[in-house]
């Protein structure tokens, strides 16, 4: 669940900036941090789930769910890092454009 929220955080920030008069696109870049943190928490939660599955000798099940959660969390973290780099370069370009 956290992995899916991580993937949805950045598009939700963009939609919020587009639909709202009070939120600008620059302010919506805070959703990048939210996506990063949620992705990191998804990875940690998946690690704990895999440890629990190993502890119960695979009787508890859920190993596939833990893998999917780890994958979604990793994807969310990587997309957040990519977005942060893009916003950083955009900031440099606007700084030196003046």
Percentage of the chain lying above the pLDDT 70 cut: 100
Q: Which helix (H) or strand (E) holds 22?
A: none
What lies within 8 Å, CB to CB, of 98 at 6+ separation is: none
Total domain count for the chain?
1
State pLDDT tens for residues 50-71. Answer: 999 888 887 878 889 999 999 9
pLDDT at 60: 76
Average pLDDT score, the chain:
93
Q: Which domain holds residue 41?
A: 2-97
Say how far apart CA 23 and CA 87 lie, in whole Å.
17
State pLDDT tens for residues 2-20. Answer: 999 999 999 999 999 999 9
pLDDT at 61: 80
């Amino acid at each position: 669940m956290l992995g899916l929220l991580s993937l949805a955080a950045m598009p939700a920030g963009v939609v919020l900036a587009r639909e709202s008069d009070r939120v600008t696109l620059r302010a919506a870049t805070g959703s990048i941090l939210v996506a990063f943190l949620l992705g990191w928490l998804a990875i940690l939660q998946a690690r704990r789930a895999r440890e629990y599955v190993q502890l119960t000798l695979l009787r508890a099940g859920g190993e596939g769910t833990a893998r999917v959660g780890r994958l979604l969390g990793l994807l969310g973290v990587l997309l957040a890092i990519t977005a942060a780099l893009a916003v950083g370069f955009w900031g440099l370009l606007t700084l030196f454009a003046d």
